[in-house]
Amino acid sequence: MEQMQTVTVEALERRVETILLAHGMSAPNAQAVAHVIVAGERDHCKSHGLYRLEGCLKVLAAGKASGVSVPVVQDAGGAIVEVDAGGGFAPASFNAGKAALVARARDYGLAALVIRDCLHFSALWHDVEALAEEGLAGLSMCPSYAFVAPSGGKVPLFGTNPFAFGFPRKGAHPYVVDFATSVAARGEIELHRRAGTPIPEGWAIDTEGRPTTDPDAALAGAMLPFGGHKGSAIATMIELLAGAMLGEFMSREALDFMGTGDLLPRHGALILAFDPARFAARSGRDPIAEAERLLGAIEDQGARLPSQRRFKARAQALAEGIALTAAELALLERLSRPDALR
Amino acid sequence: MEQMQTVTVEALERRVETILLAHGMSAPNAQAVAHVIVAGERDHCKSHGLYRLEGCLKVLAAGKASGVSVPVVQDAGGAIVEVDAGGGFAPASFNAGKAALVARARDYGLAALVIRDCLHFSALWHDVEALAEEGLAGLSMCPSYAFVAPSGGKVPLFGTNPFAFGFPRKGAHPYVVDFATSVAARGEIELHRRAGTPIPEGWAIDTEGRPTTDPDAALAGAMLPFGGHKGSAIATMIELLAGAMLGEFMSREALDFMGTGDLLPRHGALILAFDPARFAARSGRDPIAEAERLLGAIEDQGARLPSQRRFKARAQALAEGIALTAAELALLERLSRPDALR
């Protein structure tokens, strides 16, 4: 049997923070990045857990990101709050801008947080869940690397462009959904390639735009957006709103800038916050109680709300700690060395 | 060969307006409703063209909508502009609130238009196209009637919940997309039922939640959201943002209130407007030119942008008029009689 070691969430955060500091990251950045990485691990959201740590170190080692940048908040008092991440990781910038975003949303009813020139490597549910804890509905989106072709086309232009939405609930975890607008993640195709197994139909096309189940042909060609032309339109919307509209990179420019899809992408991010209390005020209704009628009715028929598995894993991790495998322990050990990636 | 008659867009608008007036609608409402109905016909968007006229008259005849309500704009100077439609049709309310919405979006960077207690029977592209003409990006969404089950469930809770997005372009029609978040429209299932043909797989489930291709079983059961659990999440988001958050009906309450799915639904609507010039200002980039790099690259690979067919039909209708079939002419003739629906 594999050797496991159970650590508390706090201990794992400190461990990851120490590793990031050893690789030259500043304390506020290390703390913010460690928090979101361990939050992913805590929620058993493995694709955004410890797995991401090496990616953070790699992009730092490549000199393509800053571990010491100080987020600069631009808050002119309007409904747009901007944070310049200066080529740093998004979590510290989100933390820096959050209070102003929340205040503006409460003042005006809705507001936007624009993060410029960041590496938004963490799961987007983190952003909208933080807003829901403040009683706000939230939308979060960003481009990534151009690996996804538009519906009816063959040249990759969109990223896997994640989209997240959150809505507060009373006495329960918020409604939180977070998904890629591609059918599958690129990493899943890579796993099929390594295993020598075909990918399911509908995931990708080859360089000629023909449907393919060959992982190599898919990686050379393009991935497909979910939901046909409707999903393709949502991916387009994310490029336009969180890329072009902000004057930040869209997914193709992000790929050109980095010169590789193997490092974390650098681009902007858009986070919208809505205050249901403000929106509903004139109706005389309680928007959170209204929402519950829908969410309760979804649960009552046995359909699962998104994120429930994550919240369950979280409760367990907080109560019993996180069990790390021997491979994970070895990874942490290896990454602890400042020359780990050289 | 069928007898056709070609009329100008303006003449058809006057004709439809006259019919609405004959059924007791006030002049501003008749004008606004005739405009969007004929805009649908002009763009060869038949599902939202003359076809809708009888539905408008039916809901008036049933006493379930007001043809004379005067939209009341509530503009407290924040980023939320509200219009109370008073049980009237949305177009007059959109017209009444549009100037304030545009002004607020330019002042704050983004703003929301909330329409309360309306019949948003027109296509949503109308809203976002009007905003794009002002140089603004727009999002529009509303609930409808609960005919769609959540992914993994079987009880209908969502409407076909339309979603539209628009982004301005320079020297070209804007990027405009508008789609139902259900796989298919309810009317399409009804057409299969009448024709006695099966519906495609993936459109619907029966009352037990089992996939069905039988139109009767589908109409008794539930329609499905597009794109599996991701589309289901977007349908949920629309219920929450454009229903619960506003303190207006969600799709199930809309159905309960009307007591039938045969009349146009009554609920609220949410329209968001974003000013790209404000969002991009600090970047020093031109957001419209940036967007063009993406939209041009989609077109260059032969993939069609949404709405292009509609814009082409429009150009033809404006140049050559709209050809009405004998059946359409007979319909207009029949509906012209004030007792047409009695």
Nearest to A270 by CA among B329, B276, B245, B264: B276
Beta strands in chain B (DSSP E): 5-7, 72-75, 80-89, 110-119, 137-141, 162-167, 175-180, 204-205, 211-212, 222-223, 267-274, 322-324
Cβ atoms of A231 and A238 within 8 Å: the answer is no
CB contact under 8 A, B241 and A274: yes
CB contact under 8 A, B302 and A153: yes
> Checking phi first, is residue A253 left (phi over 0); if not, alpha (psi -120 to 50) or beta?
alpha
Structure tokens at A292: 């519950």
> Residue A57's pLDDT band (boundaries 50, 70, 90)?
very high
Cα-atom radius of gyration of chain B, to the nearest Å?
A: 20
B296 Cα distance to chain centroid: 27
Residues of B in contact with A241 (CB under 8 A): 137, 167, 274
User: Does A77 touch chain B if contact means CB atoms closer than 8 Å?
Assistant: no
Determine the pLDDT at residue B46: 87
The contacts of residue A132 (CB under 8 Å, 6+ apart) are: A138, A166, A167, A168, A169, A174, A175, A176
Q: How far apart are CA A82 and CA A94, in angstroms?
A: 10
**Taking a contact as any Cβ pair under 8 Å apart, which residues of chain B between 229 and 288 contact chain A?**
229-231, 233-234, 236-237, 239-241, 243-248, 250, 252, 272, 274, 276, 278-288
B6 — phi, psi (to 5°)?
-100, 130
Determine the pLDDT at residue B16: 98
Q: Give the ipTM.
A: 0.97
Beta-bridge partners for A148: A158, A223
User: Does A299 touch chain B if contact means CB atoms closer than 8 Å?
Assistant: no
How would you classify the pairing of strands A110-119 and A267-274?
antiparallel
- Which of the residues A54, A188, A253, A292 is marked catalytic? A188
For residue A110, give how far its alpha carbon lies from the nearest alpha carbon of chain B (Å).
7
Determine the pLDDT at residue B132: 98
Cβ atoms of A162 and A181 within 8 Å: the answer is yes
pLDDT above 90 (res A202): yes
Residue identified by tokens 């942490």 is A332
**Residue among A114, A280, A306 whose CB faces B246 most closely:** A280
Name the residue in chain B with its Cα closest to that of A149.
B298
Q: Can you list the domains of chain B with their CATH numbers?
A: 1-61+311-342 (1.10.1530.10), 69-182+227-286 (3.30.1370.60), 184-224 (3.30.60.50)
**DSSP designation for B183:** S
B173 Cα distance to chain centroid: 19
pLDDT above 80 (res A94): yes
Q: How far apart are CA A258 and CA A238, in angstroms?
A: 20
**DSSP designation for B176:** E
In this prediction, residues A265-279 reach a mean pLDDT of: 97
pLDDT above 70 (res A2): no
- H or E stretch covering B173: none
For residue A303, give how far its alpha carbon lies from the nearest alpha carbon of chain B (Å).
5
Cβ atoms of A165 and A274 within 8 Å: the answer is no
B48 Cα distance to chain centroid: 8
pLDDT in tens, A60-76: 999 999 999 999 999 98
CB contact under 8 A, A303 and B243: no
Write out chain A in H/E/C secondary structure: CCCCEEECHHHHHHHHHHHHHHCCCCHHHHHHHHHHHHHHHHCCCHHHCCHHHHHHHHHHHCCCCCCCCCCEEEECCCCEEEEEEEEEEHHHHHHHHHHHHHHHHHHHCEEEEEEEEEECCCCCHHHHHHHHCCCCEEEEECCCCCCECCCCCCCCCECCCEEEEEECCCCCCCEEEEEECECCCHHHHHHHHHHCCCCCCCCEECCCCCEECCHHHHHHCEECECCHHHHHHHHHHHHHHHCHHHCCCCHHHHHHHHCCCCCCCCEEEEEEEECHHHHHHHHCCCHHHHHHHHHHHHHHCCCCCCCHHHHHHHHHHHHHCEEECHHHHHHHHHHCCCCCCC
Beta-bridge partners for B112: B80, B272
User: Does A170 touch chain B if contact means CB atoms closer than 8 Å?
Assistant: no
Residue identified by tokens 């929620």 is A43
Name the residue in chain B with its Cα closest to that of A228.
B227
Structure tokens at A151: 């519906």
Please confirm, yes or no, whether B188 is among the known catalytic residues. yes
Cβ atoms of B146 and B157 within 8 Å: the answer is yes
Q: How far apart are CA B174 and CA A222, in angstroms?
A: 26
Which residue, among A237, A245, A246, A282, would best test binding to B if mutated, counting the most B CBs under 10 Å from its CB? A245
**Residue among A227, A234, A279 whose CB faces B245 most closely:** A279
**Residue among B152, B157, B233 whose CB faces A179 most closely:** B233
Which residue, among A241, A251, A256, A307, would best test binding to B if mutated, counting the most B CBs under 10 Å from its CB? A241
Determine the pLDDT at residue A287: 98
Residues of A in contact with B150 (CB under 8 A): 298, 301, 303
Q: How far apart are CA B92 and CA A114, in angstroms?
A: 34
User: Does A183 touch chain B if contact means CB atoms closer than 8 Å?
Assistant: no
In this prediction, residues A44-65 reach a mean pLDDT of: 94
- pLDDT string in tens for chain B (342-residue length): 567 899 999 999 999 999 999 999 999 999 999 999 999 999 999 889 999 999 999 999 999 999 999 999 999 888 999 999 999 999 999 999 999 999 999 999 999 999 999 999 889 999 999 999 999 999 999 999 999 999 999 999 999 999 999 999 999 999 999 999 999 988 899 999 999 999 999 999 999 999 999 999 999 999 999 999 999 999 999 999 999 999 999 999 999 999 999 999 999 999 999 999 999 999 999 999 999 999 999 999 999 999 999 999 999 999 999 999 999 999 999 999 988 886
